[in-house]
Amino acid sequence: MVLGIVWLFWLGSLLAVVFGHIARSQIERSGVSAGNGMALAGLVLGYGAFALLILTLMSGGTVSFHVHL
């Protein structure tokens, strides 16, 4: 989940997806439900960041946010 929050130019998102899938498979094999929510949160954040990357690339990489005071 932490890697999904701190994505470091999408590298953290990639690792969040990979480790999230590994964790969920280990949890499923062990039969214990502890940590399943954290693994799912990492997957959601990781895939969400990839969706943001796709949208940014589709827009030509010109996404900018302006704050007006």
**pLDDT by residue (tens digit) across 7-56?**
566 777 888 889 889 999 998 888 887 888 888 988 998 898 888 888 87
pLDDT at 52: 84
User: Does the residue 10 lie in any domain?
Assistant: yes
What is the DSSP-derived secondary structure letter of residue 44? H
User: Does the residue 54 lie in any domain?
Assistant: yes
pLDDT at 63: 55
User: Does the residue 47 lie in any domain?
Assistant: yes
User: Does the residue 63 lie in any domain?
Assistant: no
The whole-angstrom separation of Cα 43 and Cα 31 is 20
User: Does the residue 68 lie in any domain?
Assistant: no
Residue 60 predicted with pLDDT over 60: yes
Q: Please state the domain count of the chain.
A: 1
H helical segments located in the chain: 2-5, 11-30, 36-58
Domain extent for 54: 2-58
User: Does the residue 65 lie in any domain?
Assistant: no
In Å, the largest CA–CA distance within the chain is: 53
Is pTM, for the whole model, over 0.85? no
User: Does the residue 39 lie in any domain?
Assistant: yes
